[in-house]
A and B are shown apart, each in its own frame.
Chain A
């Protein structure tokens, strides 16, 4: 079965000699190092951006902006981290910002999208109805775009966790490391993001809320 996510960035878990030298050269402003960084990591970023954005022009813009940001922030890069993973995170953020700018909806408030309970602690849940499988629904471009649009409408802190975990399929620990937060924070944000997205997708499936 074809994996859904783009291939992970190359490289061993710890920094290799080549990466250490490259980062040192980038920090020193070595012009050749900039080109080397682009050649070493750019193709995988381009592949990921194409998948997330679906448009060649947007994917190239995303990769360009990713590297420009990376050059600017290389001083803040922690040497122990993997450079490819760090770049991948910047690229995903860039792609999400592009998706947001395409979105027809303003960013939603997470609190308004969380599950509702009555005063007895009982869930208030609409009756969901569907006659199609997920594959059948997503075969329609309009539905796929709607789901992407709704993901883009999630508040940023939640959107990035959902993208990394459910779309890019990083595990909880990896997401925590990428974002510099605890695994517990990832778990809470992921659950809220999924619950909020469910609420945003209700018009696709549900009858009116009771």
Chain B
């Protein structure tokens, strides 16, 4: 049962490795950060887009990766309160006292 998927993966790997303008998933991985930063050359962007079109695993990966970034950014809530006008006096005193103790 597992022989067929294995063969498909082997063929896919060979195609990605050897056909012109293609990269393997492992090589594609190195492009992601630069793609998201807008730092790929035109040629690299074409290679990136072509791999993504051909590879459902990398499409799934990239979707999940971007969702992860979004979740990380929003996991910490926007503070309900504005920046305080000043530092509470008791906190200032506590900081100065802590400094004195540890000197």
Contact = CB atoms under 8 A, between A and B. Distances in A.
A2 B78 contact: yes
Given A54-B77, A128-B63, A121 B99 contact: no
Nearest to A60: B91
A193 to B, nearest CB: 9
Interface in A160-189: 162, 166-167, 169, 172, 187-188
A194 B84 contact: no
Interface string B59-71: 0110111011111
- Secondary structure type dominating chain B contacts: helix
A7 B60 CA distance: 35
B42 interface: no
A130 B26 CA distance: 25
A122 B12 contact: yes
Interface residues of B, number: 53
Interface residues of A, number: 63
Interface stretch (A17-25, A80-88, A100-108, A144-152): A144-152
B79 A120 contact: no
- Secondary structure type dominating chain A contacts: helix
Contact of A42 (B60, B79, B87): B87
Contact of A134 (B13, B55, B74, B84): B74
A125 B60 contact: yes
Given A63-B91, A151-B75, A194-B65, A122 B98 contact: no
6 contacts: A38-B92, A43-B87, A51-B78, A52-B76, A63-B95, A121-B26
